[in-house]
Chain A
Amino acid sequence: MDLQVSFLDRLFDAGLLIETGVDGLYGRSGQFEDVIAAFERLIDRVGGADGAEAMRFPPGMNRAFFETSGYMKSFPQLAGTIHSFCGNELDHMNLLKCMEVGEEDWTKGQEATDIVLTPAACYPLYPTVARRGKLPAGGSLFDLQSYCFRHEPSKDPARQQLFRMREYVCMGTERHVTDFRQSWMDRGVEMMKSVGLEVTIDIANDPFFGRAGKMLVNNQRDQNLKFELLIPITSVAKPTACMSFNYHQDSFGLKWGLNLEDGSVAHTACVGFGLERIALALFHTHGLDIKEWPENVRATLWG
């Protein structure tokens, strides 16, 4: 814990992250953003030739799609909904009085809007693709990036509440999407090596909620559905997941009605880059001053 606080403090002191008073909610400096932009260009160089269709959604998604996704079944503790004031003038007066007195929670009267904070960059994609009709026989590949929200306040700079996720999502046959996932596991290791980061890949699970979640964790691990690429940031014993490689079988295909040309249900897989985590791994490994980073790392990132 002390180690985490001190890395976070060092990032604040160096001006790379900017404190806001809320754990896990930080501003980023120009230098920090430079690293993320450079790493995204590296992703483009490695994955660009695959010809993925790029889409960018804002960090909020349609609440109806969020409800269909089943996110609340598995991760209610992480979700963030957007609520707004929807009252009349009298309600407004009461609201202001309530805020002034400060004894009662002024947010109690806020009402849910049609927008929910995006929990992972690919969530808005599935209903969008489903609306288009059948997928081509050769499958489809998409490139996404979005800020994502997860309600898990922490002093670990690698566990932020609002962070960016770059993703490639593949839809097609089982063979097609599992090959895609394997190729990115190999590429991920090579990419991290090229920027001087020590990595391991391990089987993983999502943070499913509660006791019932234990069963989902066991199912996920038994079936090798999730792998993570781990890099030591705040702990060597518990390295941080900087990429994840997920095979959803046909569960999203069934849920969203994603079908291939021959009518069969599409299998899906996604590969995610935790952009802030990768930047933090680079700062942790090579130091807080980019000018001091090894020449080959700088050359890979900035050419």
Chain B
Amino acid sequence: MNETIRELLTRVGGLPVAVTELEDGADLYAAGLSSFASVQLMLGLEEAFDIEFPDNLLNRKSFASIAAIEQTVSHILKAREAA
């Protein structure tokens, strides 16, 4: 999952730094992730993992770092399994 997220970030994140240089916990907004790029990232994650973000997770916190994204996606996948 970490790799898929990093690939997506490279493709749609538009970051001025190399994604490989970023730690999992690094603040993506501080690294230059724009609001619009975070929306692209969200749509890309939905497609890659065949999930749909519920409204309450569509916020800055969910996309604040690679670790946060992993956590958010895992949470959605787990909720789907439980359903």
Contacts and interface: CB of A to CB of B under 8 A. Distances in A.
Contacts of A216: 35-36, 39
A73 B38 CA distance: 13
B43 interface: yes
Contacts of B60: 218-219, 222-223
B4 interface: no
Interface string B27-39: 0000000111011
A70 B39 CA distance: 14
A212 interface: yes
Nearest to B36: A73
A193 interface: no
Interface in B12-67: 34-36, 38-39, 42-43, 53, 55, 58-61
Nearest to B58: A215
Q: Is the interface of B mostly helix, strand, loop or mixed?
A: helix
B55 A70 contact: no
Interface residues of A, number: 12
A215 B34 CA distance: 12
Contacts of A211: 58
A218 B39 contact: no
B49 to A, nearest CB: 16
A212 B61 CA distance: 15
A214 interface: yes
B7 to A, nearest CB: 20
Contacts of A215: 35, 38-39, 42, 53, 58-59
Contacts of B39: 212, 215-216
Interface in A216-261: 216, 218-219, 222-223, 251
A250 to B, nearest CB: 11
B42 A212 contact: yes
Contacts of B59: 215, 218-219, 222
**Most B Cβ at <10 Å: residue of A211, A212, A215, A251:** A215
Contacts of A212: 39, 42-43
Interface in A118-150: none
Interface in A90-128: none
Interface string A200-219: 00000000000110111011
Contact of A214 (B34, B38, B55, B61): B55
Contacts of B34: 251
Contacts of B35: 215-216, 219, 251
A223 B29 CA distance: 13
Contacts of B42: 212, 215
Nearest to A210: B39
Nearest to A221: B59
A212 B42 CA distance: 8
A214 B55 CA distance: 7
Contact of B58 (A73, A218, A223, A251): A218
A183 B59 CA distance: 29
A212 B41 CA distance: 10
Interface string A51-85: 00000000000000000001001000000000000
5 contacts: A212-B39, A215-B53, A215-B58, A218-B59, A222-B60
- Sorted nearest first, the 4 A-B pairs with minimum C-beta distance are A215-B58, A218-B59, A212-B39, A214-B58
Given A216-B35, A219-B35, A219-B60, 11 more contacts: A211-B58, A216-B36, A216-B39, A218-B58, A218-B59, A218-B60, A222-B59, A222-B61, A223-B60, A251-B34, A251-B35
